Structure 1
Amino acid sequence: MRYHPLLVALHWLSAVLVIATLFVGFGLLATMPNEAAGKIAILRWHMAGGMLILALTVIRLVVRWRTARPAAAPTGNMLLDRLATPAHYGLYLLIVLMVATGYATGILAGLPAIVFANSGDPLPRSFAAYPTFTAHFLLALLLAGLIAMHIVAALYHHVVLKDGLFRRMNFGRRS
Structure 2
Amino acid sequence: MSMKSTADRYGSIPLTLHWLSAGLILALIPMGFAMQGATGDVRLGLYRAHAMAGGLTGLLTLMRLVWWVVFDRKPKASRGASALQRLLAKTVHAGLYGIVLVLALSGIGLVATSGLSAALLTGDASLIPADLSDLPPRLAHGLMARLLVGLLILHVLGALYHHWIKRDGTLGRMLPQVR
User: Do these two structures clear the TM 0.5 threshold for a shared fold by scoring above it?
Assistant: yes
For 1:73, the equivalent position in structure 2 comes to: 78
Residue 130, structure 1, aligned to residue 162, structure 2: no
- How far the C-alpha of 1:109 sits from its partner, in A, is 1.0
Paired AA for residue 169 in structure 1: M
8 Å Cα contact 2:40/2:125 also seen in 1: no
Q: Is the 8 A contact 1:2 1:70 kept in 2?
A: yes
- Give the alignment partner of residue 162 of structure 2, picking from 157, 162, 175: 157
Question: Residue 26 of structure 2 is aligned with which of 19, 25, 33?
Answer: 19
Distance 1:128 1:120 in 2: 18
RMSD value over aligned CA atoms?
1.8
Which residue in the other structure is 2:175 paired with?
170
The answer to whether the aligner puts 1:107 opposite 2:107 as a matched pair is no
Match status 1:3 vs 2:10: yes
Distance 1:30 1:125 in 2: 10
* Pairing partner for 1:44 from 35, 42, 48: 48
- The one-letter code sitting in structure 2 at the alignment partner of 1:68 is R
Q: TM-score, normalised by structure 2?
A: 0.87
Which runs of 5 or more residues in structure 1 are unaligned?
Answer: none
One-letter amino acid matched to 1:44? R
Q: 1:171, 1:37 → 2: CA distance?
A: 39
d(CA) in 2 for partners of 1:169 and 1:80? 18
Identity %: 32
**Alpha-carbon shift at residue 119 of structure 1 (Å):** 5.4
- Asked which structure has the greater RCO (Cα within 8 Å, sep 6+), the reply is 1
1:94 to 93, 99, 121: 99
Unaligned runs of 5+ in 2: 1-7
Query: Cα distance, 1:79 vs. partner?
Result: 2.4
Give the total of aligned pairs. Answer: 170
